[in-house]
């Protein structure tokens, strides 16, 4: 069963009345402007990566500026009291409160580094902002679906350019004034997470998109960005979720066909593309996949895997079985230095290559449990909403929840193997997806007919009176 074009949802919604007073209309316009700005910021993070994150003036970069404006918009919309009553937000509020408790005691000692590390929970504010925008005006759900459709097109077209610049021409582009990196500097794993979201959207809601856009550009972007196991796992987790819920979907099958053809050609001609520290080849892909579940004969891959495992075991030992059980080491300390795993000359590495282990190391066992509760609650609620919408044959709503669930799963997978949500490139995106999930579920409860397709035009019969 195919979904309708999100841009065609034009019928009125039962029980919803658009704002009529001048003051309410001004609030709606303010929310719409911020919503459009936030969409631009997210696109910038996806395509510009770390280079885009430095837009601004230290210490107020574009992510922090956008967050402060978002909080102001929530106050103007008057939606905050209602958000605090949304029960799915309770685990997130618990998580952020515990994060605050693990941050304040260390501020005097570590200063701005404390704030720098605390964004991993502080960016959770974006979840409230996004959910507030959707709940205050349910019509923004339609706009969200349509805007992400445009994001898919632009991302698939422009991501190869960003990848090539980052891999082969790093330093060619000038930096934003005062920034230490070029305007475009993206990681392959980050690209793969957004590629996973694009794949899920195409399967769930992409019936009116070009039938050849995805089969050509999804494999191209995937091939250019398979630099490590984290991105590979993230993409295929989203594929797995999509295929379980929409098995043998024709749009997915076209993508798989081109991917299989590409792999066959790589094997047949023994194609090898040097990407600096790693090469893209059929042998590399086989080794990377096999190294996920077993030891590898590639010294570099195996060394990286063992390095992570040793560090993660140390974190478990000094938290679960050690003196940092309750509060962890807190926010502000450079964990790589403190744990003895620093590999960067400028001490740039601050956290283990796993956001989940970062939570355990910095927030202790209680903080880690609340983190699992926070993310697990969203995952379970999305699954429940998908099942209910599917049973009621609300295919557009079930498509929305499939897309959000697969996207969220990709974020969780990449978080498990990379320093991802510790910065704005992954952190802001994750919490925006989180807030979108809760916002969509709240809107769905009140306005299940919001995404119903418009009724088909009725035939006109002309009677001829003789």
So what's the pLDDT on residue 363?
97
Is the residue at 159 inside a domain? yes
> What tokens appear for 15 in the block?
């029980």
Q: Give the pLDDT score at 1.
A: 43
The whole-number pLDDT of residue 198 equals 96
Residue pair 228/188 in contact (Cβ under 8 Å)? The answer is yes
Q: What confidence score (pLDDT) does residue 281 get?
A: 72
Question: Does any domain span residue 2?
Answer: no
With CA atoms as reference, report the closest residue to 357 among 297, 299, 310, 408.
Answer: 310
Is 7 domain-assigned? no
The answer to whether residue 401 is domain-embedded is yes
Residues of the domain holding 132: 21-446
Question: For position 466, what pLDDT does the model report?
Answer: 45
| CB neighbour class for 465 (10 Å; exposed up to 12, middle 13-18, buried from 19) | exposed
201-236 tens-digit pLDDT: 999 998 888 888 999 999 999 988 877 778 889 999
90 falls within a domain: yes
Whole-angstrom Cα distance, residue 200 to residue 148? Answer: 12
Query: ∠ CA 381-387-392 to the nearest 5 degrees?
Result: 125
Q: What pLDDT was estimated at residue 176?
A: 87
* CA 353 to chain centroid: 17
Residue 160 makes CB contacts below 8 A (sequence gap 6+) with 217, 220, 221, 224
For residues 306 and 372, give the distance between their C-alpha atoms in angstroms, rounded to a whole number: 25
Number of structural domains the chain divides into:
1
pLDDT of the residue at 2 = 45
Is residue 330 a contact partner of residue 360, using CB atoms and an 8 Å limit? Answer: no
Contact criterion met (CB below 8 Å) for 175 and 51: yes
Q: What is the pLDDT of residues 17-41, one digit of tens each?
A: 677 778 888 999 999 999 999 999 9
Residue 6 is assigned to a structural domain of this protein = no
Residue 223 pLDDT: 85
Per-residue pLDDT of the chain (466 residues; tens, 9 = 90+): 444 554 455 456 656 667 777 888 899 999 999 999 999 999 999 999 999 999 998 888 999 999 999 999 999 999 999 999 999 999 999 999 999 999 999 999 999 999 999 999 999 999 999 999 999 999 999 999 999 999 999 999 999 999 999 888 877 888 888 888 899 999 999 999 999 999 999 999 988 888 889 999 999 999 888 777 788 899 999 999 999 999 999 999 999 999 999 888 888 877 776 655 566 777 777 776 666 666 655 546 556 778 899 999 999 999 999 999 999 999 999 999 999 988 877 778 899 989 999 999 999 999 999 999 999 999 999 999 999 999 999 999 999 999 999 999 999 999 999 999 999 999 999 999 999 999 999 999 999 999 987 555 555 555 544 4
What ranges in 102-187 are assigned the alpha helix state H?
A: 107-110, 112-122, 125-136, 139-168
Q: Is residue 65 part of a domain?
A: yes
Query: What would the pLDDT profile of 256-302 be if each residue is shown by its tens digit?
Result: 999 999 888 888 877 776 655 566 777 777 776 666 666 655 546 55
Report the distance separating Cα 17 and Cα 9, nearest Å.
16
Is residue 428 within 8 Å of residue 123, measured between CB atoms?
yes
Position 351 in a domain: yes
Residue 401 is predicted with a pLDDT of 97
**Contact present, 205 and 149 (Cβ < 8 Å):** yes
Q: What one-character DSSP code corresponds to residue 6?
A: G
């Amino acid at each position: 069963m195919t979904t309708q074009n999100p841009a065609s949802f034009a019928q009125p919604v039962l029980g919803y009345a658009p704002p009529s007073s001048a003051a309410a209309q001004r609030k709606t316009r303010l929310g719409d402007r911020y919503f459009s700005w936030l969409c631009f910021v997210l696109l910038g993070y996806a395509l510009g990566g770390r280079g885009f994150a430095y837009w601004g003036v230290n210490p107020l970069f574009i992510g922090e500026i956008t967050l402060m404006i978002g909080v102001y918009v929530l106050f103007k919309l008057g939606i905050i009291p209602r958000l605090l009553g949304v029960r799915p937000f309770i685990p997130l509020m618990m998580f952020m409160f515990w994060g605050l408790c693990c941050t304040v005691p260390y501020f005097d000692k570590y200063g701005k580094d404390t704030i720098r590390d605390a964004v991993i929970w502080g960016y959770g504010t974006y979840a409230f902002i996004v959910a507030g925008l959707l709940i205050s005006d349910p019509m923004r759900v339609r706009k969200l679906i349509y805007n992400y459709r445009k994001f898919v097109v632009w991302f698939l077209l422009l991501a190869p350019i960003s990848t090539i610049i980052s891999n082969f021409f790093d330093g060619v582009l000038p930096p934003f004034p005062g920034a230490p990196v070029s305007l475009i500097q993206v990681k392959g794993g980050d690209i793969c997470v957004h590629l996973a979201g694009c794949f899920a959207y195409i399967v769930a809601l992409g019936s009116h998109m070009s039938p050849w856009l995805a089969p050509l550009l999804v494999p191209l972007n995937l091939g250019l960005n398979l630099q490590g196991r984290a991105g590979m796992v993230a993409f295929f987790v989203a594929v797995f979720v999509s295929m379980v819920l929409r098995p043998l979907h024709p749009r997915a099958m076209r993508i798989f066909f081109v991917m299989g053809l590409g792999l066959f050609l790589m094997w047949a001609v023994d194609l090898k593309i040097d990407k600096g520290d790693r090469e893209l080849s059929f042998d590399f892909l086989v080794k990377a996949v096999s190294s996920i579940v077993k030891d590898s004969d590639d010294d570099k891959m195996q060394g990286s895997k063992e390095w992570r495992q040793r560090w993660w075991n140390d974190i478990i030992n000094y938290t679960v079985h050690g003196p940092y059980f309750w509060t962890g080491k807190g926010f502000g300390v450079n964990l790589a230095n403190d744990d003895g795993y620093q590999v960067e000359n400028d001490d740039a590495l601050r956290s283990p290559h796993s956001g989940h282990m970062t939570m355990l190391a910095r927030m202790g066992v209680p903080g880690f449990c609340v983190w699992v509760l926070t993310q697990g609650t969203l995952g379970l609620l999305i699954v429940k909403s998908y099942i209910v919408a599917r049973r009621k044959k609300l295919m557009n709503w079930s498509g929305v929840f499939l897309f959000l669930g697969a996207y969220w799963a990709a974020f969780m997978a990449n978080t498990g193997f990379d320093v991802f949500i510790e910065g704005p490139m992954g952190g802001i995106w994750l919490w925006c997806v989180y807030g979108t999930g809760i916002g969509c579920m709240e809107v769905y409860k009140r306005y299940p007919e919001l995404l119903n397709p418009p009724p088909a035009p009725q035939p006109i019969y002309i009677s001829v009176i003789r």
